Structure 1
């Protein structure tokens, strides 16, 4: 098992289309994540499947106060 950032994955492991297909999402969603510089971590499991998680602070949104 290996975990890399979204940027690292796209630079060395595959394309946005490949990642989208593996995650079951649209390529445009991967593109938006990349352009927004979201902190997405891609986990490459030993059995070949790929998992993605976003790292966000809690609370993720700033209060209106």
Structure 2
């Protein structure tokens, strides 16, 4: 839900997810995965949900 509150972020996430299956370059795939992770972690933080990374701290 937190992602839906930010249409530009939601659109970027959809574009990244759509492109992820098309990538053949490992470095580019890692960059896409990292950006998706940042978007999802930010949304989780906004929603007050702890992520696995936070639980390990």
Larger % of helix: which? 2
Larger % of strand: which? 1
Specify the structure having the higher radius of gyration (Cα).
1
What is the TM-score of this pair, normalised by structure 1? 0.29
